[in-house]
């Protein structure tokens, strides 16, 4: 793909440009899509397989986004997969919090064992 294909709205079959949170809206329709961030272009693009399904502008560009409209045979994410995805996100968040707590405890232990400078 060329840069202009990642920046410009492709035309028919796409929603109008919108502002606001993009992840939730795209995830509802294109739940299998994965995002790629192009820092030099200040654009994030979502791909479902090799198909471009969403574009988000950010950075020096005015923040806005657009996505491909739902296909005719579209079906929402099956409930079992949605629950599994949410559990996976919760587990990742808990691992992050546990790691932060461990690092915080290490820093506090180091601060306690460090001698106080006399003035």
For residue 101, the enclosing domain spans 78-113
Task: Report yes or no: 65 and 57 within 8 Å, Cβ to Cβ.
Answer: yes
What is the model's pTM? 0.63
Whether residue 119 lies inside any domain: the answer is no
Number of domains in the chain: 2
**pLDDT per residue over 39-66, tens digit each?**
998 899 999 989 999 999 988 878 899 9
How does residue 27 score in pLDDT terms, banded at 50, 70 and 90? confident
The pLDDT value recorded for residue 85 is: 79
Tell me: do 11 and 38 sit in the same domain.
Answer: yes
Cβ atoms of 26 and 67 closer than 8 Å: yes
Residues 61 and 84 in one domain: no
The set of long-range contacts for 30-33, using a CB threshold of 8 Å and a minimum separation of 24, is: 30/54, 30/67, 30/68, 31/76, 31/77, 31/81, 31/82
Best-predicted range by mean pLDDT (30-44, 46-60, 78-92, 93-107):
93-107
Q: Does the residue 22 lie in any domain?
A: yes
Q: How far apart are the first and last CA of the chain?
A: 64
Residue 118 lies in a domain: no
5 and 56 together in one domain: yes
C-alpha torsion sign, points 9, 13, 15, 21: negative
Assign 1 a pLDDT band (cuts: 50, 70, 90).
Answer: low
Q: Which residues contact 3 (CB under 8 A, 6 or more apart)?
A: 41
Beta bridge partners of 55: 45, 66
Residue with tokens 């479902």: 48
* Residues 9 and 27 placed together within one structural domain of the fold: yes
Segment 83-90 mean pLDDT: 86
Same domain as 83, residue 71: no
Are 65 and 87 contained in the same domain? no
Residue 81 — pLDDT band, cuts 50, 70, 90?
confident
Asked whether residue 63 is domain-assigned, the answer is: yes
């Amino acid at each position: 793909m060329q840069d202009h294909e990642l920046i410009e709205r492709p035309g028919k079959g796409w929603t109008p440009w919108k502002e606001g949170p993009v992840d939730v809206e795209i995830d509802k329709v294109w739940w299998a899509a994965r995002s790629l961030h192009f820092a030099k272009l200040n654009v994030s693009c979502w791909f479902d397989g090799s198909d471009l399904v969403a574009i988000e502008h950010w950075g020096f560009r005015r923040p806005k986004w657009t996505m491909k409209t739902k296909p005719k045979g579209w079906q929402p994410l099956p409930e079992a997969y949605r629950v599994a995805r949410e559990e996976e996100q919760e587990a990742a968040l808990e691992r992050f919090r546990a790691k932060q707590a461990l690092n915080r405890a290490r820093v506090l232990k180091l601060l306690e064992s460090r001698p106080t400078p006399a003035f």
